[in-house]
Structure 1
Amino acid sequence: MKAVWLIIGLCLTGIVNAEDSIERMHAEKMESFRSASLQWKDEPILPKGAKSALLVGDPTKAGVFIVRLKFPAHYPIPAHTHPFTEVITVLKGKLGNGMGNKLNKQHGEILHVGDSFVLPTNHAHYVWTEDEETEVELIATGPWDITYIDAKDDPRKAK
C-alpha cells in the first residue's frame, strides 16, 4: 500500500511542478486601455504600414501577451506561419483571412467587428484589409515570430 501512495505522491508532485512551469499572464497593476491613448509603433515583423500597441506581456519572451495591430486600407500580409497558436479579434474595420501557402482572396473570408479566429501552430495563412483601416487584437504566446512562406516577403530581410 505504501508503494501505491508513493506513486500517487510522485504523480501529484509532477503535476504541480508542470503547472508551476507554465508561463502565465502576469500584470503588476490594474490598468485600462483606451484606444485613443494607445502608443502605436511600427511593427517590424510585418510588411511596412502595420502598427502595434502592446497591452500585456512581452512578445519577445515566453508567455501570454496581448497586442493591438493596426493595418492601413488595402494592406496584405502574405502567406506565413507562427510558432504558437494565436487568437485574433477584429475591433475596427474588416479583415480578410485565408488559409494556404499563397494569398488568394477568393479562398478566404471577410471578418467584421467582433468576429474572431484562431490559428493553430505553424498553420499557413494570410490576411488582408479592404477599403478601410483595420484594427485587431492579438492574443498569443511568445516569443512571437512569423515565417513567411516566400522568404522574399519578409520585411526584415534587406531587399
Structure 2
Amino acid sequence: MKNTWITAALLAGAISACSGDKAGDKIDRMHSDKMESFSSATLNWQDEAILPPGAQSALLVGDPTKAGVFIVRLKFPPNYPIPAHTHPFTEVITVLSGKLGNGMGETFDTSNGEVLNAGDSFVLPAGHSHYVWTTDEETIVELIATGPWDISYINPADDPRNSKP
C-alpha cells in the first residue's frame, strides 16, 4: 500500500504539460456548459517539463497552476524512472495501461516497491517522499489532484528544471 502512494508522485509531473496550453487557447475546463468526452486517440500530448525527459501529459480538466481540482493523463516510455520527490497536495493515480512501479522513501530502489497494473489505483498523501518507474512497456496513468501543483525532488540535481538555460 505504501508503494502505491509513490506512483501518485509520478503523475504530479503532468502539471507542467497541463499548463502548457498556447497563449490564448486556455479554456476554463472546470466550468463547462456542455458535456465533454475525452478520446484517448485525440488527446493533445505535450512534453512534460517538470519530469525527466520522455514523459508527456494531456490535460483533461482544470488548471494545475491554479487552486482547484485538475485531471491529467501522463504517458511514460518503457523503463522510465522518476527520482524520489514530494508533492504539496494529495494525489489519486490510476494506471490506465501498462505497469507502474512505485516506492516510498528518499532513495530510488525498484526492489523496494510494488508494480501496479492497468486498473489499479493509489492515493498519495501530500509531502510523502516517493518515486516511480515503468517496466518494459509504455505506461499511461490518470492523475487527479488539487492545484496549484508542484514537484520537489529530494535531490535538486534530479530536477530537469535545473538543467534548463
- Normalised by the length of structure 2, the TM-score is 0.80
Q: Deviations over 1:69-99 (max 9, x none)?
A: 0000000000000000000000000000100
Where does structure 1 differ by over 3 angstroms across 4 or more consecutive aligned residues? none
Q: Does 1:26 align with 2:30?
A: yes
Q: Does 1:118 align with 2:123?
A: yes
Q: Does 1:90 align with 2:95?
A: yes
Q: Deviations over 1:31-57 (max 9, x none)?
A: 000000000000111000000000000
Deviation (angstroms), 1:26: 2.5
Aligned partners of 1:158, 1:91: CA distance in 2, in Å? 31
Q: Percentage identity across aligned positions?
A: 74
The 5 Å alignment of 1:138-153 reads 138-153=143-158
Which residue is 2:135 aligned to? Answer: 130
Aligned partners of 2:161, 2:134: CA distance in 1, in Å? 21
Deviation (angstroms), 1:158: 2.1
Matched to 1:51, the amino acid is Q
Count the aligned residue pairs.
Answer: 135
Where 1:106 maps in the other structure, the secondary structure is coil
Aligned partners of 1:137, 1:98: CA distance in 2, in Å? 18
Matched to 2:160, the amino acid is P
Aligned partners of 2:116, 2:76: CA distance in 1, in Å? 14
Matched to 1:64, the amino acid is V
The 5 Å alignment of 1:1-159 reads 26-28=30-32, 29-158=34-163
1:27–1:56 Cα contact (<8 Å) kept: no
Aligned partners of 1:66, 1:158: CA distance in 2, in Å? 27
Unaligned runs of 5+ in 2: 1-28
Aligned partners of 1:123, 1:142: CA distance in 2, in Å? 17
- Normalised by the length of structure 1, the TM-score is 0.83
Where 2:41 maps in the other structure, the secondary structure is helix
Specify the structure having the higher radius of gyration (Cα): 1
Give the alignment's Cα RMSD to 1 decimal: 1.1
Aligned partners of 2:120, 2:101: CA distance in 1, in Å? 11
Matched to 1:79, the amino acid is A
